[in-house]
Amino acid sequence: MTSDIETSLRETLTEQYKYAEQIGLNELSSGNLSCRFEDGMLISPSGASAETIAPENIVRVSLDGEWEGDRKPSSEWRMHAAVYQAQESAEAVVHTHSDYCVALACQLLPLPGFHYLVGSFGGNDVPCVPYSTFGTQTLGDDAANALKTRTACLLGNHGMICRGKNLKSAVNLAHRLEIMCRQYLLTRQLGEPELLTDEQWAEFFDRAKKVSYGRYI
């Protein structure tokens, strides 16, 4: 029997999956969302889209890949599981193929510290991990390692992934990263942007801990 907590998480995951498409983070059946639940996770099913996803379709999966029900979990369940195993504070994971994140990832470029809000992901850049085939443990391990010191990273020739304190915050981080990648690619059309110095970053992080940005880092 499904508990009230599980029912609520399934409903929230469904809502946030649809919202991610509304704001342009996913199209068709690309991307996947999950949240930690008990000793495993709830994750969007394989082949899900905003039109077909529903609370009853969300798949309950253990961190070693055993799932319940007839629906298969997203093919990227290993990447989600690796993040939860590596980062105890991760309560939700969002993976998207959003346009500007993909554009940067296909150049195997990190998002550098061109704007102070890059710091909202936990450091002075957002790294890009090397390409690995989708659904593999190698991809999962690389992503999880990058997310030990950041709340988001780019996935080479693929997309992005981020972790959050809950599903809403994780989707918001994914949205923020897409915006920052767009702005970075726009400013590069004018030339290489000036990056913040180490001193400026130190001042930012000191200030961020005292105001609302502190909830991100």
List active site positions.
Answer: 76
- Six-digit token pair at 213? 């940005």
Beta-strand pair 59-62/92-96:
unpaired
- H helix count then E strand count, the chain: 6, 7
Alpha-carbon distances, residue 10 vs 19, 77, 168, 178 (angstroms): 14, 16, 13, 25
**What CA–CA distance (Å, rounded) separates 83 from 103?**
23
- Six-digit token pair at 183? 């702005």
Instruction: Give 91's strand partners.
Output: none
Instruction: Give 92's strand partners.
Output: 35, 164
CA 91 to chain CA centroid, nearest Å? 11
**Number of Cα atoms under 13 Å in the Cβ half of residue 134:** 15
**What CA–CA distance (Å, rounded) separates 164 from 174?**
10
Q: If DSSP codes are grouped into helix, strand and coil, which group holds residue 188?
A: helix
